[in-house]
Structure 1
Amino acid sequence: MESNPKIVILQLKEIITVLLVILAAILLLVLFLYIFLPKNDDKNTEQAYNPGTYTSSVDIGATTLEVVVSVDSNHIKDISIKNLSEAVTTIYPLLKTSLDDISRQVIETQSTENIYCGEDNLYTSTVILTGINCALDKAKLP
């Protein structure tokens, strides 16, 4: 077997061009990774609340109700009303539905701002939101 050596001649200009194209491709890849990979936000890792259940008293007519808000270190977990009697729900029939609607919105958005309240239950919703805000103020870290 005879071997026929082949000689490859590369010019310096071609080598430099290939290296620059490879370098540009690597830089472009790093840029895409930096832009599109998820970032670890410091906001999500910081503790916003003392975990626990907090209450706030609200007056509706002659009755005092307890708004109960449960939180963990970063999230609002549950909102309910304690001391809700049949007499109160008879006088304020929209109380339970308003609470359910507001608590769903607050838990979804994790905020009491920009909560939609219908015009037919504006007073009830305002009282509930005031109670939630007072309970969250107790839960917030100093």
Structure 2
Amino acid sequence: MSFIRVTDIPLAGKRVLIRADLNVPVKDGKVTSDARITASMRTIEHCINAGAKVMVTSHLGRPTEGEFKEEDSLKPVVDNIAVRLGKNIRLIRDWTEGGFEVADGELVVLENCRVNKGEKKNVEETAKKYAALCDV
């Protein structure tokens, strides 16, 4: 069986959405174990270096669908990634309808996807909204 890898795709100028597993333990606003972040960094960095407009989302914890609370925020994850990359990373809330721009070679993190209605139940309309945000 043959697989297409992200490294096989020309990404320059493309909008890339990565649904990563960044569900890491957080205590007092700090990531306490970053193994899952580390596991995703190679792909994230490849996409940035290839000149893609990189959007990463993940769930964190078990938030109530449709109800955002600060304790459900991916901000601690964003802070961890920002230190690794040595640059500021934007965290975008209320992102499913688009309305934001990402530059070539930029990474943005899209707030906790489990807050989005339809995420946990794999609602097709939600999937279509996600797909409309990206080329890859």
Q: 1 or 2, which has the higher helix percentage?
A: 1
Interval containing the TM-score (normalised by the shorter chain): under 0.3
Q: Which has the higher contact order (CA 8 A, sep 6+)?
A: 2
Give me the TM-score of the superposition, normalised by structure 1.
0.24
